[in-house]
């Protein structure tokens, strides 16, 4: 479900966000995350780093009511918690962040409404955003 915010220019991404219902999942992914063939892919990657995970996340968060964020535990250990820092700056601090194994994370992707592929080339910079409601 969309919330008020700056207009999102990418029509396919805007449509997916507008169509999400409560509890549905949208994945924001780095360039290397395997995307299941049956899941809708919104590919924004231009080159390594363009656009970055944090830029895409900020744009999505400005439009999507988020109930929960899910990340892989490897992003905390290998990335030294940098992914959590990105969420702290981009989303409501009251939104809980759940941590699962990378294998479990990839399983969650299979049931996502869409995966948004960024140009991020930092390993494990992926997040499942669980849609909330704006009322």
| Residue positions annotated with a catalytic role | 22
Short-list 2, 129, 135, 17, CA closest to 70: 129
Q: How far apart are CA 124 and CA 38, in angstroms?
A: 22
First vs last Cα of the chain: how many Å apart? 10
- 108, 100 contact by CB (below 8 A): yes
């Amino acid at each position: 479900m969309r919330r008020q915010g700056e207009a999102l220019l990418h029509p396919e991404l805007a449509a997916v966000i507008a169509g999400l219902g409560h509890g549905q999942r949208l994945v924001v992914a780095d360039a290397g995350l395997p995307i299941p063939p049956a899941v809708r892919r919104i590919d924004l990657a231009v080159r390594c780093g363009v656009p970055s995970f944090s830029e895409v996340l900020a744009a999505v968060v400005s439009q999507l009511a988020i109930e929960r964020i899910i990340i892989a535990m490897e992003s905390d250990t290998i990335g030294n918690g940098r992914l959590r820092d990105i969420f702290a700056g981009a989303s409501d601090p009251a939104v809980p962040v759940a941590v699962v194994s990378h294998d479990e994370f990839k399983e969650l992707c299979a049931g996502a409404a869409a995966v948004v592929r960024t140009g991020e080339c930092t390993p494990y910079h992926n997040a499942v955003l669980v849609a909330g409601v704006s009322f």
